[in-house]
Amino acid sequence: GVDVILQREGHTLILTISDDGEGILNKTKKSSQKKQPVQEKMGLQNMRERIQAIGGTFAVTSEPGEGTEVRVSLNMEFI
């Protein structure tokens, strides 16, 4: 399944999208590490750059077999 959570913390809007799918394969990760940032592909890199351009943060964590989480934080003044 997929969970989408939108929450407000003060002047920050936080969007979290997570799933329980296969995860994103990251060949540079050691298998013993859990929920580490994934090596970004072009689409994820473009999303990060656009969000950072408006003062936000963007993080993707994933574990093979356990799913992926994307978290975006934006200052509401820039929305």
Kindly report the CATH number assigned to the domain that includes residue 39.
3.30.565.10
Q: What are φ and ψ of residue 11, in 5° steps?
A: -95, 15
In the chain, the amino acid numbered 43 is G
Give yes or no for residue 7 having a pLDDT over 90: yes
Can you give the pLDDT at residue 25? 66
Q: Give the Å distances, CA to CA, from 34 to 8, 62, 76.
A: 27, 8, 31
Rounded average pLDDT over 61-74: 93
Q: Is residue 63 very low, low, confident or very high in pLDDT (cuts 50, 70, 90)?
A: confident
pLDDT score of 40 more than 70: no
Q: What does the DSSP 8-state code read for residue 78?
A: G
Domain that holds residue 11: 2-28+35-78
Cα dihedral 22, 27, 28, 32 in deg (nearest 10): 50
Q: In total, how many domains does the chain have?
A: 1
